[in-house]
Amino acid sequence: MLSDGAVSRAVRAVAGGVILPACLVAGTAIAQSYPARPIRIIVPFAAGGPNDILARALGAKLSERLGQQVIVDNRAGGGTVIGTEIAARSPADGYTLLMASTSHAVNPTLRRSLPYDPHKDLDLVLLLAKAPNLAVVHPSLPVRSVKQLIALAKSRPGEITYGSGGIGASTHLAGALLGSMAKVKMIHVPFKGGAPATVALISGETTWMFGTFPPTIPHARAGRVRVVATGGLKRSPVLPDVPPVADTLPGFESVGWWGMMAPAGIPGPILKRINTEINAALNGLREQFLRDGTEVVGGPPADFEKFFSAEMATWAKVIKDLGIQPN
């Protein structure tokens, strides 16, 4: 005859054996029923920029796969802070996602305070893609190389302006890094995204800028801007005749990246489903992105977490070395 303790242990063992499969079944059911309504992707930049372009292409593919509308919601301002706070404060149910970029790795160092905690308030879903930034000038400028751009800036100290997608954007820090390495002073003009920064360059409001690959290439092909260098360490197969900045300033590198985040606390089965579906959608966009000089990455959340931590450390050092003060 079993003792009371033995009976109790036996009951717990049986109960545990029942509960665990039940939890697994419930988790599978949750993932299979998702999504039951439209999904929103918050883009913390103005429409027309690289984040927006990527989000819309990805959203269309996801909509096809999931059978639900995927809405791109542009919430520009504050160097991604406004849109990111909205995402961080949204329900953690898988129906709000956030397009992340270099700015999200920069802001914890560049801002004295943030209305959200990037470690506690956001879940990392996956790294989407990478692309080298492009140094571009207004076509009327007598500049066809980084060397000539530096020489012009040195001959006109404090007059040459460069636009960017906002304070802390990879295009801002790339311009600041180039100026620092070349030992020349240039004026930074931030905008609410890459698209308005590009419009300002085309209109002659600014002298030059670092632009991201996908939205810059059409303007270059149309002659509205001139590409003088790439931010990668080697030439791009899309622009084989354009040298990297590193040929003039050894060690220089500026590569933009995009990732997907979500409000922290999304149920594991739903997070896994989102990751799986976005990876599949990215595979369908790989060739299209490569034509625009963008490398599709993908992978599990853990890979993005490792990458994001490394980016935060890298940019913290760059900001410190450049002497950029938090605001």
CA-CA distance, 303 to 309, in Å (whole number)? Answer: 10
**φ and ψ at 73, to 5 degrees?**
-115, 105
Kindly report the pTM of this predicted structure.
Answer: 0.82
Per-residue pLDDT of the chain (327 residues; tens, 9 = 90+): 545 555 555 545 555 555 555 444 445 666 678 999 999 999 999 898 889 999 999 999 999 999 999 999 999 988 899 999 999 999 999 999 999 999 999 999 999 899 999 999 999 999 999 999 999 999 999 999 999 999 999 999 889 999 998 888 889 999 999 999 999 999 999 998 888 999 999 999 999 999 988 889 999 999 999 999 999 999 998 999 999 999 999 999 999 999 999 999 999 999 999 999 999 999 999 999 998 889 999 999 999 999 999 999 998 998 998 888 887
* Sign of the dihedral through C-alpha 312, 314, 319, 321: positive
DSSP string, 274-291: HHHHHHHHHHHHHHHHHH
pLDDT in tens, 257-295: 999 999 999 999 999 999 999 999 999 999 999 988 899
Predicted confidence at residue 167, as pLDDT, reads 84
- What crossing angle do the helices spanning 102-110 and 170-182 adopt, rounded to 10°? 70
295 phi/psi in degrees, rounded to 5: -95, 120
pLDDT at 24: 46
Domains, the chain, with CATH or none: 32-130+256-322 (3.40.190.150), 132-247 (3.40.190.10)
pLDDT digits (tens, 9 = 90+) for 76-89: 988 899 999 999 99
User: Using CB atoms within 10 A of its CB, is residue 70 exposed (0-12), middle (13-18) or buried (19+)?
Assistant: buried
Gyration radius of the chain over CA positions: 23
- What is the spatial distance between Cα 118 and Cα 264, in angstroms, rounded to a whole number? 9
Q: What are the distances in angstroms from CA 275 to CA 74, 268, 303? A: 22, 11, 12
* pLDDT tens by residue, 150-190: 999 999 988 999 999 888 888 999 999 999 999 999 999 99
